[in-house]
A = this chain, B = another copy of it.
């Protein structure tokens, strides 16, 4: 495995035992738990790097997570090892690569469970609307910079595209029929608390991703009525920061089913309840892919999505 090298000053490793609350009833660790740890490692290493030279102090805010696959399931009692390294810097952003291993400390078995790429942007501590400059990393090979630049340009393009796609929202529907989109669509509200936030009062990207995975999982479970696990997450874009005190609504709906998997769109909207001057806005969006498992952990066929529905509405309700 190439990935991030061992403990150069620019690498970091988090490890933690998986507990019952990290997992579903069948003992499989939630994809959201893993995404949250990945983001914590990314936030530490990129904040550390962006403050490594004298100058204005800053905090690194998550801007985007590239598509990531969940290669093998993790279970309660296993130790998750999350290692992160910086692989590219542009003038105003940092690319972090993260590997996740699961270790069964009783048998010694280790498995690669995830590889992820995250993009961070340094925001000034004095003025959170000001993006600072990123100190350049030193590349060990010439090509690394060039390859990094290509990844940077590609994600920039994709981010701009998704900005346009985000007009719609989950619509409540009358008497939904089984296996329709309306039948399984779900949304939850969450009042942002202190533990959800960075020192500067913004929600950690990892907290948002954990809630997104939770909603996607409920949509998948309602559709299948079986044990379901996260198989992959499409690129997640963070369009705007979420402040402490906001109420966030996370909505999910099934957009596609194949024989073996389900695709669920998840939207995050923030509502600055107490601040009358600001309107509700779209903060993040992504597509999650889930699979259905039997009690023995074997893949099960997924009920196909049927087109019918109830009576759709034009605007958000609940």
Contact = CB atoms under 8 A, between A and B. Distances in A.
Interface of A: 1-17, 19-21, 23-25, 40, 43-44, 47-48, 51-52, 54, 57-59, 76-77, 79, 81, 83-87, 97-99, 101, 103, 105-108, 125, 137-140, 144, 170-176, 182, 185-191, 193-195, 197-199, 214-215, 217-218, 221-222, 225-227, 244-245, 247, 251, 271, 273-276, 310, 313-318
**Nearest 3 pairs between A and B by C-beta?**
A172-B317, A4-B83, A20-B194
B51 A17 contact: no
Among A4, A174, A245, residue most surrounded by chain B Cβ atoms (within 10 Å): A4
B51 A105 contact: yes
Contacts of A191: 24, 40, 43-44, 214, 217-218
A139 B57 CA distance: 44
A137 B2 CA distance: 12
Contacts of A59: 106, 274
Given A21-B195, A44-B247, A187-B318, A273 B225 contact: yes
A269 B83 CA distance: 19
A133 to B, nearest CB: 16
A8 B315 contact: yes
Given A226-B106, A276-B225, A318 B170 contact: yes
Nearest to A84: B4
A143 to B, nearest CB: 12
B44 A189 contact: yes
Contacts of A175: 314-315
A14 B222 contact: no
A193 B107 CA distance: 26
A317 B273 contact: no
B20 A20 contact: yes
Contact of A25 (B43, B58, B77, B189): B77
Contacts of A221: 105-106, 247, 273-274
Contacts of A170: 318
Given A47-B106, A185-B318, A193-B195, 15 more contacts: A1-B144, A4-B13, A5-B8, A7-B316, A8-B315, A13-B13, A14-B16, A14-B189, A15-B44, A20-B197, A21-B193, A47-B273, A106-B221, A172-B317, A186-B318
A314 to B, nearest CB: 6
Given A108-B225, A221-B274, A226-B106, A7 B47 contact: no
Among A138, A176, A187, A315, residue most surrounded by chain B Cβ atoms (within 10 Å): A315
Contacts of A139: 1
A15 B47 CA distance: 15
Nearest to A86: B1
